[in-house]
């Protein structure tokens, strides 16, 4: 291991700050910091985040991180691979799933060695619990595979990774909002030259030149109103890649977590069902026994969410408006609840005024996770098309699509994904920069971002950002959530087109530079409109139901025509009125190694 030289001092030219690092990482959540731990000791590394790192959304993940440690029950990585493929409704690239499951064990042990305080068995081993879709012997019965730290596993991972980044002396640039990726050419080949960031505290622009750039910017759940995602998850990184003309993969597949607090979307972890919680309808029936008789409440999330929505549609919903079902943990020992589910129960008390010891908790599916995103190979290298790599550009975590989640991610595989592929991104970037040349910067690299920021700040229109955002989110909730049809998707397509036109007539009240949240939210809305449009356009095209994408007008899975990934390409002006004017869809083969598609029975 070599020790990198200290970060060079920044320079200021014409009011623009210039920085130079071998590796530039955009995003300081789990994937970004896991990449930094590999990159930092071996190359000059900068991590840029629009949040303080420990406020990143990884900290909201509750339930656990899957790995076939077999500490509690017999298990192996091949069963984990099978569950990942089957859970993803066979749209998973199986070579990537094998890597995920094999490297899961070392990923957990890495975190343990970094100091993460996992729950322990009486023998002192890392404890494990059940989670939806995880089984033994290729689906025969549920298995305890999720390694956990109470119901704060993501929080513990985030804190542990940050502490280790500090130990390695990683250069953090916190509250810097990356708004553009600079591309250049060497020997006729397009490569990243760096990124442009807006400093929230001053309004200054910063150019970060790098030989390699890693995107780890998380998801975009704020295209929906009812979501477990934080307000900052607006898809900035994915949107930047889209605007640069690079493709996005499988954007129609969005996961709706079954147990969000009714009316709020705040997440109640699947860990509750892993510990024995039961979903009940208004009649008190454990309805999942009818839909998934083998693993019941621990079926994959897409199945449980649809079953809940069906119960409500058929009149068995609870509450005054019959618009939710119940999560019941009243039969569990309060000592177990306090030890293993402290945050979940506190959320129910705080936000709904419900006492989980004695009352069932109202729950409803909530927009949770994007299975699609920036296409990468198993080395975390970003792809320009189905096979061509963009040298020096990497992506990992929820913003990326490798594709280990297919059309439906299994619970606990997200915390695993950020660690396995975050580590791979960091290691592969280090190898790349050893011999890679610097890509020359253009004469005025910040020109686009300067124009973007000024256009928004000094806009004199009449439309309010909050109004447009609410209309987008309401329409997405109404038309593109658990159930979809041609009619509903057509409606939201026209809503987005109208919002695009109105977005040209916005104004922000705050014309200042320091911590201008009005400006920030306006720029974020631009990304949300872009990504919601790609989600809906891809969903209209896919005429089947698979995983998180359920078309009531095409209710069955169609492997003959649709066992392929969707690849979306921007072909014209991203801000033209209709998606058909500027989005081209193509397909990409699914990598199948050992598991042929079969019916999903649970």
Per-residue pLDDT reduced to its tens digit, 61-120: 888 999 999 999 999 999 999 999 999 999 999 999 999 999 999 999 999 999 999 999
Q: Which helix H or strand E contains 18, and what residues bound it?
A: strand 16-26
pLDDT at residue 364 tops 70: yes
Q: DSSP readout, 536-575?
A: HHHHHH--S-BTTB-BTTB-S--HHHH-EEEEEEE-S-TT
Q: Are residues 293 and 375 in the same domain?
A: no
The structure tokens listed for 509 are 């009240």
What's the confidence (pLDDT) of residue 389?
97
CATH number of the domain that residue 27 is part of: 3.50.50.60
Q: Which two tokens stand for residue 302?
A: 């897409």
State residue 581's pLDDT score: 78
Examine the domain organization and report whether 477 and 459 are in the same domain: yes
> Is the same domain home to 526 and 575?
yes
Distance CA 72, CA 144 (A): 7
Q: Are 423 and 38 in contact (CB under 8 A)?
A: yes
**pLDDT at residue 373 is higher than 60:** yes
**Residue 264 covered by a domain:** yes
Q: What mean pLDDT is predicted for residues 388-410? A: 97
> In the structure, what pLDDT confidence band is assigned to residue 172 with cuts at 50, 70 and 90?
very high
Question: Is 174 contained in some domain?
Answer: yes
Query: 17 and 206 in contact (C-beta within 8 Å)?
Result: yes
Residues 53 and 74 in one domain: no
Active-site positions read 301
The answer to whether position 163 is within a domain reads: no
**Is 584 a domain residue?**
yes
pLDDT confidence bin for 579, thresholds 50/70/90: low
User: Annotated binding site for FAD, which residues?
Assistant: 27-32, 49-64, 236, 398, 414-415
Residue 601 lies in a domain: no
Tell whether 134 and 223 lie within a shared domain: no
Report the predicted TM-score, pTM, of the whole model to 2 decimal places: 0.94
3-state secondary structure 222-269: HHCCCECCCCCCCCHHHHHHHHCCCCEECCCCEEEEEEEECCCCCECC
Number of residues written out for the chain: 602
One domain, residues 413 and 453: no
480-515 residue pLDDT tens: 999 999 999 999 999 999 999 999 999 999 998 999
Inter-CA distances, 367 with 217, 223, 289, 472, 521, Å: 18, 9, 24, 14, 20
* One domain for residues 109 and 139: yes
* pLDDT at 5 exceeding the cut of 50: no
Q: Report, as an integer, the average pLDDT of 399-423.
A: 97
Q: Which residue has the tokens 């910017």?
A: 217
Same domain, 577 and 453: yes
Q: For the chain, what is the domain count?
A: 4
pLDDT tens digits, one per residue of 272-313: 898 999 999 999 999 999 999 999 999 999 999 999 999 999
In a domain, 160, yes or no: no
Over residues 559-580, the mean pLDDT reads: 82
CATH number at residue 309: 3.90.700.10
**Known binding-site positions for substrate:** 257, 269, 368, 409
User: Where residue 1 falls among pLDDT bands split at 50, 70, 90?
Assistant: very low
Domain edge (last residue) among 337, 367, 397: 367
- Given 95, 124, 154, the domain boundary residue is 154
Q: Which domain holds residue 112?
A: 65-154
Tokens of 214: 């890693």
Which band of pLDDT confidence, cut at 50, 70 and 90, is reported for residue 576? low
Q: Is the peptide bond before 403 cis (omega within 30 degrees of 0)?
A: yes
pLDDT at residue number 9: 66
Same domain, yes or no: 249 and 314: no
Q: Is residue 159 part of a domain?
A: no
The one-character DSSP state at 581 is: G
- Count helices and strands (H / E) in the chain: 16, 21
Q: What percentage of residues in the chain have a pLDDT greater than 70?
A: 97
Predicted pLDDT of residue 353 = 95
pLDDT, position 500: 94
**Domain at 580, CATH number:** 1.20.58.100
Q: How far apart are CA 97 and CA 94, in angstroms?
A: 5
Measure the CA–CA gap between 22 and 34, rounded to whole angstroms: 17
Please provide the average confidence, as pLDDT, over all residues in the chain.
Answer: 94
pLDDT tens per residue across span 21-49: 999 999 999 999 999 999 999 999 999 99
Least confident of 236-240, 404-408, 461-465, 581-585: 581-585
Task: Give the domain-ending residue among 315, 346, 367.
Answer: 367
Bind-site residues: 27-32, 49-64, 236, 257, 269, 368, 398, 409, 414-415
State the Cα–Cα distance between residues 422 and 401, nearest whole angstrom.
13
Same structural domain for residues 471 and 545? yes
231, 95: one domain: no
Q: Are residues 461 and 563 in the same domain?
A: yes
Answer yes or no: is 184 within a domain: yes
What is residue 2's predicted lDDT score, i.e. its pLDDT?
A: 47
Question: Three-class SS of residue 60?
Answer: helix
| CB-CB contact of 244 with 183 (8 Å) | yes
pLDDT at residue 189 tops 60: yes
Neighbours of 552 (CB within 10 A): 12
């Amino acid at each position: 291991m070599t020790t990198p030289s200290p970060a060079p001092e920044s320079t200021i030219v014409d009011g623009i700050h210039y920085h130079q690092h071998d590796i530039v990482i955009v995003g300081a959540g789990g994937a970004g910091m896991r990449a930094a731990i590999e990159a930092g000791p071996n190359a000059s590394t900068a991590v840029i985040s629009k949040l303080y790192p420990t406020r990143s959304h990884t900290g909201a993940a509750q339930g656990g991180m899957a790995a076939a440690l077999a500490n509690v029950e017999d298990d192996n990585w091949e069963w984990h691979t099978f569950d990942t493929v089957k859970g993803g409704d066979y749209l998973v690239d199986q070579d990537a799933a094998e890597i995920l499951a094999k490297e899961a064990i070392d990923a957990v042990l890495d975190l343990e060695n970094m100091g993460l305080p996992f729950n322990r068995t009486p023998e002192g081993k890392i404890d494990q619990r059940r989670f939806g879709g995880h089984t033994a012997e290729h689906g025969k019965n549920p298995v305890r595979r999720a390694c956990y730290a109470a119901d704060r596993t993501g929080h513990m991972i985030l804190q542990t990774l940050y502490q280790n980044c500090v130990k390695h002396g990683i250069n953090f640039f916190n509250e810097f909002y990356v708004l553009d990726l600079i591309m250049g050419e060497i020997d006729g080949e397009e490569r990243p030259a760096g990124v442009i960031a807006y400093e929230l505290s001053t309004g200054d622009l910063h150019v970060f030149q790098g030989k390699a750039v890693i995107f780890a910017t998380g998801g975009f759940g704020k295209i929906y109103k009812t979501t477990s995602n934080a307000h900052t998850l607006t898809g900035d990184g994915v949107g930047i890649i889209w605007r640069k003309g690079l493709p996005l993969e499988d954007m129609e597949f969005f996961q709706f977590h079954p147990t969000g607090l009714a009316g709020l979307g705040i997440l109640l972890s699947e860990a509750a069902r892993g510990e024995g919680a039961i979903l009940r309808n208004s009649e008190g029936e454990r309805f999942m026994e009818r839909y998934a008789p083998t693993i019941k409440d621990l079926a994959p999330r897409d199945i449980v969410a649809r079953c809940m929505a069906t119960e409500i549609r058929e009149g068995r919903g609870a509450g005054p408006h019959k618009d939710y079902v119940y999560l019941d943990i009243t039969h569990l020992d309060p000592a177990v609840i306090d030890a293993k589910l402290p945050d979940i129960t506190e959320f129910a008390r705080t936000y709904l005024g419900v006492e989980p010891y004695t009352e069932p908790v109202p729950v409803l599916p909530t927009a949770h996770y994007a299975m699609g995103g920036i296409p990468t190979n198993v080395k975390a290298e970003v792809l320009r098309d189905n096979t061509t790599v963009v040298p020096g550009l990497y992506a990992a975590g929820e913003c990326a699509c490798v594709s280990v989640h297919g059309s439906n991610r299994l619970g606990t595989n997200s915390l695993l994904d950020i660690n396995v592929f975050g580590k791979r991104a960091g290691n592969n970037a280090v190898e790349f920069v050893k011999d890679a040349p610097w890509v020359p910067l253009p004469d005025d690299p910040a020109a686009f971002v300067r124009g973007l920021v000024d256009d928004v700040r000094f806009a004199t229109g009449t439309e309010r950002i909050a109004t447009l955002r609410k209309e987008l989110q309401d329409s997405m909730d109404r038309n593109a959530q658990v159930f979809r049809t041609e009619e509903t998707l057509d409606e939201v397509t026209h809503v987005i087109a109208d919002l695009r036109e109105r977005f040209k007539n916005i104004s922000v009240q705050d014309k200042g530079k320091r911590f201008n949240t009005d400006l920030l939210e306006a720029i974020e809305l631009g990304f949300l409109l872009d990504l919601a449009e790609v989600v809906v356009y891809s969903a209209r095209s896919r005429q089947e139901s698979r995983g998180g994408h359920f078309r009531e007008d095409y209710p069955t899975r169609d492997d003959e025509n649709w066992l392929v990934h969707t690849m979306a390409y921007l072909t014209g002006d991203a801000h033209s009125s209709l998606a058909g004017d500027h989005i081209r869809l193509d397909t990409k083969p699914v990598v199948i190694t050992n598991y042929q598609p079969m019916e999903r029975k649970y």
